[in-house]
Every structure is written in structure tokens, then in C-alpha cells.
Amino acid sequence: MSSTVVIGTQWGDEGKGKIVDYFSKDAEFVVRFQGGNNAGHTIVVDEEVYKLHIVPSGVIQGKKGVIGNGCVIDPLVLTEEIKMLEDRGVPLNLFISDRAHVIMPYHKLLDGAEERVRGSGKIGTTKRGIGPCYSDKIARRGIRIGDLLSEKRLRNRLQRILPSKKELFSIFQIDEPLHVDDLVMEYLDIGKDLKPYVRDTALLLDQAFNDQKKVLFEGAQGTMLDVDFGTYPFTTSSHVIAGGVCSGAGVGPNKIGSVVGIVKAYTTRVGEGPMPTELSDEVGHHLQKKGHEFGTTTSRPRRCGWLDLMVVKHACMLSGVTHLAITKLDVLNGLDKVKICTGYNLDGKKLDGFPSAIEDVSIVEPVYEEFDGWDDFEKPESLEDLPSQAQSYLSFVESFLGVPIHVVSTGPKRDETFVIDS
Ligand code: IMP
């Protein structure tokens, strides 16, 4: 099978950018199928650091990048990212779905206003307009990338949409102008810049599969932020799990080959919502500092805790994960003891699966397995180069999940990675 899907198994920020970069070596196409510029992927090549939010990270390798219909695109961010890559001499082979939805300025304002109104119940969104844009898509009042190529279409859509936005602005007391003419002018201009990249990307990918090309699907966020299976309502608004590829890129399920689940060696979360293994002690602080756990997109500090295999097991089940990639193992170096959560108790009973109600997630009691820690290690090139305690940690993860570990990442650089052939 010529396709691989890479997904995050936790709350995002698992280090997907680096692993996608690694897997895209063999791919001709690298495809984003959900999310928008709420994501942030960091790729380090030699001394160069690239931070991407919407352009698929595989383009750094000179691959064909596809932004699928399931994504929401802020064209201002996209054009800036395109310019940054061009300025840095990265050849850009980019294809944008004409069906992807456009994040408009009113989406960003409404995202902020809705959060304000939620008060202490806020989600902690990235305020990039993601939720309001997906809401409009589902409510069938969105603007799609293809609409930016036709003045008539764009004007028609905006004339239909803006009256209700004006009402919302007044309810939320947003004192910003909303004029059809201004938006048409600004967004048609952007449409002109984007036009060379706009395509029916489902057709493009169908041809790629027919031609036996290798395709890599690059997930953004992580399973616990999936709108159906995550810690709802503290989730994002898209389908983050591997099944999201089908609707978000226009690809049949029979085209999905292997599914790589990225597992950070501990757990992090940004934004609000419960996280059962969160540590607010010295160890949590150590993980945050050593792991540089500050958001690529919002610079917010990430909450840190022990690896939670209830979470990762849930992700493996939902996405049919066939291989694991463990990231940031080195961040655990130097700890005296390390723990892994292997189950949850709720009201004295052991749970079989991850609870659907957020109230239950907030009060579950994690059950831990404790392991001896290990000292710093020098760039390991195989499993055998790791301290025996780190090997035990990994082999426990593998046997608990029943999924083989294929890649281990022990630092941010490309060469701080080794592969386990199984
Ligand atoms: P939104 O996607 O901006 O609506 O934010 C919803 C929730 O998802 C918030 O808790 C965000 O912090 C979280 N979130 C969104 N994108 C990412 C990501 O790429 N990594 C980690 N968390 C994210």
C-alpha cells in the first residue's frame, strides 16, 4: 500500500513535524487533511529551523504539499508562509483544495468573543477562528477557497452571510466594520495570489494513487482533541483521527496503508480541560523546561504529566495504528523514577475505555506503573544503545499497546532518530 497516515495520539504537540519530515523522505505527496493554522510544526534541518502552521511540513523536503478540503485556511497566514518559504529558497510545490474553507476576519473576532463569554468555562482555543469557521462550514454558510477566484461568487456569498454576522457582532459587542465591498476587494486580491495553487485535490490524489505514487497524510493536533473522540468540549473542531483522511482529503478507506501513531514519551496539553496525569510538581516543571514545552503557535506553556496509556490506547484503537513513533524520550533522562498510567479508576471501578463525559475525565484516578529512571545518553543509534531502564520503558509501552515501535526520536535534530525494524 502506497500511503501512510501520521497522527498524534495525545493532545497534540507530540513532535509530528519531525516524524512527518522523516517519513516524507519516501513520499511524493504530503497532505494535510484537517485543522488550520491552530497547528504548529517545527522542523529542524541542519541549523535551520522552520515553523509551519498550514503548509504541509513535507515541502521542506521538496515534496508536493497538498492542503485538503478538510482544512480551514486563513489565507493571510498561508500567503505569509508561502512568502517565508520562497524567501528562504524552499522550492514550493503546493496544491490547495478549492473546497477547503476560508477563515475570514469575522471568524477570528468571534472566536475571541465566544471565549470571553464562556468565562471560566473557556476552551482555551488558539483564537485563530478555527471553531467559528468549521461551524459555518457545517451550517452551510462558509466561504470556500474556490470562491476567492470569482468576484460574483464571493460577493453573493458575503451578501448572504454578513447580515447574520453583523447581528452576532452586535450581540458580542464587537465594534469592527463588516462591509461586503471591503472584504470582496481584499479577498479577491488574495485569491489572485493563491490561484496558481488551487485545484481539485481529491482528483489530484486519485491520479497519484493510480500512478502508484507514495502519499503521506500529515495529521495536526492529537486524538484527544478530535471533535468526536477527544475530551469534548475541550477539543478542536475537526476529525483528527486517521478516518479524517477519507473525508478531509477525498480518499477512499481502501487507500489507507499504514498508520503511524506519534507518542510523546510523556504527556502535554495546552489550553483548558482535564488531563488525568498532569503533574504540578517539580517533575512537571522539569518536563516543561527540558522539553521546551511552549506552544509553536501561541507560545503558551504546555501542561505536563506522565505518559498516559489510557489515552494512547484509545488513539490506537480509533485510528487503527499499525506503528508507533516515540518522541522526546531524552526529556525523561535524569529522573530518578518514571511512571506510566495504565488505567483509570472511577468510583472505585476500573474503566475499560476512555470516558466520554468530561466530568468523569476530571475525576478519574490514574493507576500507575513505576519504572527506574536513567541517566543522560549520547545520540543512540539503536535500541541497544539506550540505557537498559529506557529499553524497559519502551518495551512496556509496546507490549501494553500491542503495536510495534518503529521510530524513536531522542532530540530535535533530524539525525537524533533511530528506526527499529520489526
Ligand atoms: P482551536 O483548535 O483553536 O479551536 O482550539 C481548541 C483546543 O485545541 C484548545 O485547547 C487548543 O489549545 C487546542 N489545540 C488546537 N490546536 C492545537 C495544536 O496544534 N496542538 C495542541 N493543542 C492544540
Before 233, cis peptide (omega within 30)?
Answer: yes
Residues 130 and 307: their CA atoms lie apart, in Å, by 28
pLDDT at position 61 is: 86
What is the grid cell recorded at 193? Answer: 495570489
User: How far, in Å, is the centroid of ligand 1 from the Cα of 271?
Assistant: 7
CATH of 101-196, one of 1.20.120.1200, 3.90.1170.30, 3.40.50.1820, 1.10.300.10: 1.10.300.10
Which of 57, 221, 232, 275 to probe ligand 1 with, by most ligand atoms within 8 A of CB?
221
pLDDT at position 315 is: 98
Read off the pLDDT of residues 61-79 as tens digits, 9 standing for 90 and up: 899 999 999 999 999 999 9
| Partner residues linked to 288 by β-bridges | none
Q: Is 41 one of the annotated active-site residues of the chain?
A: yes
> What b/e sequence results for 188-198 when a residue is b if at least 16 CB atoms lie within 10 Å of its CB, and e otherwise?
bebbeebeebb
pLDDT at position 298 is: 78
CATH number of 2-88+201-419: 3.90.170.10
Contacts for 33 with CB less than 8 Å, ≥ 6 apart: 68, 70, 71, 217, 218, 219, 244, 245, 248, 249
pLDDT band, residue 46 (cuts 50/70/90): confident
Task: Please give the DSSP secondary-structure letter assigned to residue 278.
Answer: B
Contacts for 167 with CB less than 8 Å, ≥ 6 apart: none
Task: State the pairing for strand pair 323-327/258-264.
Answer: parallel
Whether 344 and 367 have beta carbons less than 8 Å apart is answered as yes
Locate the domains of the chain by residue range: 2-88+201-419, 101-196
Residues 175 and 167: their CA atoms lie apart, in Å, by 12
pLDDT at position 38 is: 94
Which of 6, 133, 236 to probe ligand 1 with, by most ligand atoms within 8 A of CB?
236
How many angstroms separate the Cα of 221 from the Cα of each of 37, 183, 226, 238? 11, 30, 8, 9
User: Is residue 183 classed as helix, strand or coil in its secondary structure?
Assistant: helix
Tell whether the model's pLDDT for residue 250 goes beyond 80. Answer: yes
Average pLDDT, the chain: 96
Does the Cβ of 275 fall within 6 Å of ligand 1? no
User: Is residue 274 classed as helix, strand or coil in its secondary structure?
Assistant: coil
Residues 250 and 283: their CA atoms lie apart, in Å, by 43
Residues 417 and 379: their CA atoms lie apart, in Å, by 8
What is the grid cell recorded at 22? Answer: 522523516
Does the Cβ of 112 fall within 6 Å of ligand 1? no
Higher pLDDT, 214 or 60: 214
Does the Cβ of 267 fall within 6 Å of ligand 1? no
pLDDT at position 191 is: 97
| pTM (2 d.p.) | 0.96
Residues 411 and 250: their CA atoms lie apart, in Å, by 35
pLDDT at position 1 is: 57
> What b/e sequence results for 385-395 when a residue is b if at least 16 CB atoms lie within 10 Å of its CB, and e otherwise?
ebbeebeebbe
Q: Ligand 1, atom 15: nearest CA belongs to which residue?
A: 38
Range with lowest mean pLDDT among 24-38, 213-227, 290-304, 400-414: 290-304
